[in-house]
Each structure stands twice: as structure tokens, then as C-alpha cells.
Amino acid sequence: MSNNDTEKIRLSPEEAVFVQELLTRNNKLIRIAVRSVLGGFYKDLGEDCLGEISLLVIQKIKMLTTHENPDGWVVVASKKVAANLARREYTRLKNTKNEMPPDVPTDSDAVYQEALYDIWLESNGIEKLLGALTPREKEVYELLYIKRLTPKQASATLGIGYSTVRTIESTIKSKLKEEIKKNL
């Protein structure tokens, strides 16, 4: 551990409440994100991962209190923490010559996910990525990924068909992947 790891972090009462509310409000999404990355490791590593996520939120409290979307940040950060934990476990098991469960992320999947998360976390580059979207695609993106509506709810909100929302969602994902590739 470095000196930075052993230093005590002091939160103001307002910051402590903010952290608690942020983690509580997003608890289900955090667990889903962690489970999706850890797969078969979730049972063994899930609680460790949740502890690391809580620590990360506390360490980034100054940035999060002014962030435009702290809920989205914490869910994305959860995936990155889980991917790092899975890689460490993969390395540990590889070094002990144990067989890996079939659902451990492949290196290429992990690299792609890490690149996406790094763009979001470090440079808040999501705005740059969203620049490739049309105004309608941005509306759908906001409803699905920021406000976390279901496609049915988004279609009702926008007054368009469910299948149209699903098509736009697919287009959004394709465009974002292309933008990420350009920025790497």
C-alpha cells in the first residue's frame, strides 16, 4: 500500500449523506453491473467488489458532488472495478494453474469495456461521444440511459413506437462504438 492508500479520508456530514444516498439509490444497478462483469465469480468476489466501489466513491467525493450525472458515473465505475477484480482473480487462478470458469471476460472484451469506462470516467468524454448522435437519438439516449426508462416508457414519452425506440437504441450503440474506436 502506498501512503495515499493508508491516509484517512474525512467526509463532511453532507458528503457522508451524499455517499450513502448515492450508493443506496443505485444499489440494485450496481449489483447488476457487478454481476454482469463477474459472472461466475460474483458469489466469491461480489462483496469485495462492492466494498471497493464504496471506497472509490468516497475517494472521488469532491468530483462526484459537482458531476452532472453521479448516478451514471457510479454504475459505470462499478463495471470497471468489477473488471479489474475479475482480471486480478483470473491472474491469481492462472498462476495457480486452476481452470477458469467459462464466463470470465475475455481479454478483448475487457479491453473494450475498459476503454469505454476510461473515456467516461477520466475525461467525462461522454459528451464528445454523444456529439455523433442526432437530436432524436440524444432524446432516446437520455430517456434510456440517464433517466433509466424502459423502451416502452420511452416510446410513450416520445409518442413514437416501441420498435422505433429499439431501432434508435441499436443505432445509438453502433454510433457510440464507432466513436470510441475513433478516439482510441
The end-to-end CA distance of the chain, in Å, is: 31
Say what the pTM is. Answer: 0.48
Q: Which amino acid is at 35?
A: R
Q: What is the pLDDT of residue 152?
A: 92
- 183: in domain: yes
More confident residue, 41 or 117: 41
Q: Which three cell numbers stand for residue 16?
A: 457522508
The answer on 145 and 95 residing in a single domain is no
Q: What is the pLDDT of residue 101?
A: 47
Residue 146 in 3-state DSSP?
helix
The answer on 129 and 97 residing in a single domain is no
Domain holding 144, by residue range, is 125-184
The answer on 80 and 157 residing in a single domain is no
User: Rg (Cα) of the chain, in Å, rounded?
Assistant: 18
Residue 138 in 3-state DSSP?
helix
Q: What is the pLDDT of residue 31?
A: 83
pLDDT at 158 over 90: yes
The answer on 115 and 171 residing in a single domain is no
